Amino acid sequence: MSDANEKIYYITTPIYYVNDVPHIGHAYTTIAADVVARYQRLLGKQVFFLTGTDEHGLKIEKTANAKGLSAKELVDEVVERFIHLWQVLNISHDDFIRTSEERHHRAVHAFFKMVKEQGSIYLGHYEDWYCVPCETFWTEKQLDNENCPECGRPAEKVKEESYFFAMSAFQERLLDYLQEHDDFVMPKSKLNEVLGFLREDLRDLSISRSSFNWGIPVPDDQRHVIYVWFDALINYLTAAGFPDDMERFKRLWPADIHLIGKDILRFHAVYWPTFLFAADLPLPRQVFAHGWWTVEGEKMSKSVGNVVDPEVIVEEYGVDAFRYFLLREVPFGADGDFSKASIKGRVNSELANDLGNLLSRTVAMVKKYRQAVIPAADVENAHYLEFATLNNEVRLEVAKAMADLTFHKVLAAIWRLVEKCNQFIDEQAPWALAKDESRAHDLDQVLYCVLESLRLLSLYLTPVMPEKTVQMALQLGQAEPTAASGPEVFTWGRLKTGGEVVKGESLFPRLD
Ligand code: MSP
């Protein structure tokens, strides 16, 4: 049982902009976070998994105007796409935060006031270049011939009264912090990037706008709304109970991990820590930046028309195959390419051939040679002991790789067990043992080892493939994988014996 004061494992995704419909990039971060959340729950941890949407800003106001909608109407419409996609992808988030919610409004106000009282917010003017489509300000130096260095479109020069956050005052403190906490930014290569940002002087940050209305008003100054990051980042505090329920907040904050894409690293690893320093709140334990997906070798873009709708992929390949592919194909942190040929290749070889066949041939053998009854273990049998040792190695490798968020290694470790089973069946040839009455005990042990491995596989794989692993467990005559939880969950030798296997549908039919 978990203790009511225990720190809750807190994991977040970015909150997604609702000026666009969800694509594979959004699905990627959310699936990765879901896998970690499910794995931690399986180990018996209390987990709080947060995702949501970032709903304010000029771009939304403009898009809404163009469509003849109010900003609120627009965001209410688009948010449904995200909520629906998370259902389709079996995302097990505990909360979904929208920055247009009242609770967030209260949190941003409380946070703003704390930082202002501490002396880190002042009123001034800013003059800058602004790229409307990217919602990003650039200095003159950063521009590319007066064009946005990111999208190449023309930037506009703007001068406005604005509230500023005195970010520059925290540069030294942040540098020291990063040096002392070398796993704050992961993967390691990204830490250098962050240190690179800090080699240049940090500028104070403009955190309000008076040029549009769709946002949270600055406390005591209705002329201004709070501007993007000073609104968006606070979501991580809001959902943890800040400032309404500080008891709960203490059990959740600091977040254990913020999963993000590499493009928003600066905001999470520079801006966010300095905001928290100013508010005198602890920093999240880790910020992990993953890479970007291209599609069939090309950058995904609306104008090229190659934006991948995750729901379409799920229709074609199934949700678990999609989840598996995203995590197996590229090391988390590196960039990757999404192609139909590669997903199909992995489905056919790894999922259908290696895993699906292993299950169906095993169930078929138990039916044929043992009238479907799951044999008991002989705990002194050499195979039993050998498998127990292998499982132990796999369990540790999975734990290590999960802690490092190297999902491809998690799956590679699990596949050691899949491959071992397939090889073991070929070597032991149960069909030959079945012909010889004197080898009945050996046959039982061979079947036991493979069945128990498959039961463990259904557990190891449940965070990645929550649907198929339920089917696996049911065919094996076992309880659903999520019924088990606790630190001992991956222990060898807990197969429920005496019951029956059940022939079911093929887990992963081959794709032509
Ligand atoms: N609203 C901000 C985040 C605020 S967090 C306090 C935002 N939203 S976003 O919708 O534009 O992007 C969300 C995430 O999607 C980012 O982490 C980004 O890296 C990710 N991706 C967008 N395109 C992607 C790919 N092509 N590949 C992988 N991830 C990508 O930024």
Question: Residues 348, 240: one domain?
Answer: no
Domain boundary among 258, 290, 322: 290
Domain boundary among 252, 272, 290: 290
Residue 323 lies in a domain: no
∠ Cα 442 447 453 (to 5°): 130
Q: Inform me whether the pLDDT recorded for 1 exceeds 60.
A: no
CATH code of the domain in which 468 resides:
1.10.730.10
Instruction: Show the 3-state SS of 314-343.
Output: HHHHCHHHHHHHHHHHCCECECEEECHHHH
Residue 257 lies in a domain: yes
Residue 144 lies in a domain: yes
Question: Residues 285, 344: one domain?
Answer: no
In whole numbers, what is the pLDDT of the chain averaged over residues? 95
Question: Residues 256, 394: one domain?
Answer: no
Q: Hey, whose CA ends up nearest to atom 19 of ligand 1?
A: 261
Question: Residues 253, 163: one domain?
Answer: yes
Give 169's pLDDT tier (boundaries 50, 70, 90). very high
Strand order in the sheet with 221-226: 208-209, 221-226, 217-218
Average pLDDT in the 339-361 region? 98
Domain carrying residue 356 = 340-490
Instruction: Give the other-Cβ count within 10 Å of 360's Cβ.
Output: 17
**Which residue from 17, 161, 156 is spatially nearest to 100, judged by alpha carbons?**
17
pTM value surpassing 0.75: yes
Average pLDDT in the 353-368 region? 98
Question: Residues 133, 47: one domain?
Answer: yes
Cβ pair 5, 251 in contact under 8 A: yes
CATH code of the domain in which 89 resides:
3.40.50.620
∠ Cα 241 246 247 (to 5°): 105
Question: Residues 249, 381: one domain?
Answer: no
Express each pLDDT in 266-308 by its tens digit.
Answer: 999 999 999 999 999 999 999 999 999 999 999 998 888 889 8
- Confidence at residue 133, expressed as pLDDT on a 0 to 100 scale: 85
* Dist CA 354 CA 461 (whole Å): 14
Domain boundary among 274, 290, 306: 290
Question: Residues 286, 345: one domain?
Answer: no
The alpha carbon of 379 and the centre of ligand 1 are apart by a number of angstroms equal to 50
Instruction: Specify the number of domains making up the chain.
Output: 2
Q: Hey, whose CA ends up nearest to atom 8 of ligand 1?
A: 16
* Residue 166 exposed, middle or buried by CB count within 10 Å (0-12, 13-18, 19+): middle
* Dist CA 138 CA 156 (whole Å): 10
Tokens of 79: 């948010």
Question: Residues 246, 352: one domain?
Answer: no
Pocket test for ligand 1, best of 12, 263, 332, 337 (most atoms within 8 A of CB): 263
Residue 331 lies in a domain: no
Question: Residues 205, 285: one domain?
Answer: yes
Give 2's pLDDT tier (boundaries 50, 70, 90). low
Which atom of ligand 1 lies nearest, measured to the CA of 291?
28
Tokens of 436: 């010889």
Question: Residues 116, 215: one domain?
Answer: yes
Look at the block and give the residue holding tokens 């968020």.
405
Cβ neighbors of 473 (< 8 A, separation 6 or more) are 455, 458, 479, 480, 481
Residue 151 lies in a domain: yes
Pocket test for ligand 1, best of 12, 17, 287 (most atoms within 8 A of CB): 17
Residue 503 lies in a domain: no
Express each pLDDT in 430-446 by its tens digit.
Answer: 999 999 999 999 999 99
* DSSP code at position 200: S
Residue 450 lies in a domain: yes
Question: Residues 271, 348: one domain?
Answer: no
Question: Residues 279, 350: one domain?
Answer: no
Q: Which residues line ligand 1 (CB under 6 A)?
A: 14-17, 25-26, 28-29, 54, 232-233, 235, 260-261, 263-264, 292-293, 300
Express each pLDDT in 173-206 by its tens digit.
Answer: 999 999 999 999 999 999 999 999 998 999 999 9
Express each pLDDT in 201-259 by its tens digit.
Answer: 999 999 999 988 999 999 999 999 999 999 999 999 999 999 999 999 999 999 999 99
The alpha carbon of 61 and the centre of ligand 1 are apart by a number of angstroms equal to 20
Tokens of 172: 């030294």
Residue 149 lies in a domain: yes
Cβ pair 319, 276 in contact under 8 A: no
